Amino acid sequence: MIHKDGADFNYEKQKKFWLERWEKLNYRGKLSNTTGSITKKIVREFSKLEIKFDSFLELGCGLGRNIHFFHETFPKASYTGVDINPNLRKDISRCYPDVLKFSKIVTVDALAFLKKQKPSSFDVIFTYALLLHITEDVINSVVKSIERCANRAIVIFEREKVTKECFWRIPRNYEEYFSPPCILKKPYTESNTLWIFKK
């Protein structure tokens, strides 16, 4: 379902939109410097499934909140965060400085990053409010690339329902996109759902 104003909102425009957004100083910090309460719930749900993992990748890692809380519970895994934000390291250092010490943080477009990885390079691939920004022209390539690079599980917390219509936030039912079996589906907020797919 595409919002009428988003008919020509393609991936190149989406990336430009985010780069411009990050240029606005007052946007920094607003993105994720919350209590992390939803991330903590996601970590609890994920822990219950007892999926063993050594490597964790977050696509669109923002200011590092999700990596910070996963690491708190799973300190032995290796962590990689990628985001298109050109000030990524500086912004993370303000919000979750510990993340820079134990993870590899890369400023890069998610799809370009995935295309360079070997198959099954990360045990867990995680997204939180990234796929909702991925436009229709590339969503299937992004999904296929995630599937190719994930070794054990794909954990996504993304928008499923429309609350307020907005052309740059695209709601989807991700069971219709990912092929590995969905072992958990849990609506969390009015519009967002946690899905876990196991390979």
Ligand X SMILES: C[S@@+](CC[C@H](N)C(=O)[O-])C[C@H]1O[C@@H](n2cnc3c(N)ncnc32)[C@H](O)[C@@H]1O
Enumerate binding residues for ligand X (CB under 6 A): 15, 18, 31-32, 60-62, 65-66, 82-85, 109-110, 128-130, 133
CA distances to 3, 6, 146 from 127, in Å: 22, 22, 10
Q: What percentage of the chain's residues is helix, strand, coil (to nearest 5)?
A: 40, 25, 40
SS3 18: helix
3-state SS track over 89-152: HHHHHHHCHHHHHHEEEEECCHHHHHHCCCCCCEEEEEEECCHHHCCCCCHHHHHHHHHHHEEE
Provide, rounded to whole angstroms, the least separation between the CB of residue 92 and ligand X: 10
Minimum CB separation from ligand X for residue 81, in Å?
9
Write down the least CB distance from residue 146 to ligand X, Å: 12
Beta-ladder partners of 81: 58, 105
List residues bridging with 84 in a β-sheet.
Answer: none
Shortest approach of ligand X to residue 22 CB, angstroms?
6
- Residue of this chain nearest to ligand X (CB atom): 62
Q: Which CB sits closer to ligand X, 85 or 103? A: 85
Nearer Cβ to ligand X (38/50): 38
Instruction: Give 18 or 167: the residue with its C-beta nearer to ligand X.
Output: 18
Nearer to ligand X, 25 or 50 (CB): 25
